[in-house]
Structure 1
Amino acid sequence: MGFFSNLFGKKAQENSVTVSQQVAVREKEDDNWETIPKWIKVDDPDERRKIALIASSIAKYDDNGKEYILKNLEKRNPEYRKLGIIVASTINFMVPNSTQSITSIKKAKS
Structure 2
Amino acid sequence: MAHGLLGIRLYDQVSLRNVEIKNVHSEYSGFRFAQDKEGYNVIGQSLLLENCYAERATNIAVTPMYYFDRYQEVNLIGCKSFSSVPNSDTPQGDAFYLKDCKGISFTGCSAAFSQNAITLEA
TM-score, scaled to structure 1: 0.19
TM-score, scaled to structure 2: 0.18
Decide which structure has the larger Cα Rg and report it.
1
Q: Which structure's residues are more often strand, by fraction?
A: 2
Q: Which has the higher contact order (CA 8 A, sep 6+)?
A: 1
Q: Which structure's residues are more often helix, by fraction?
A: 1
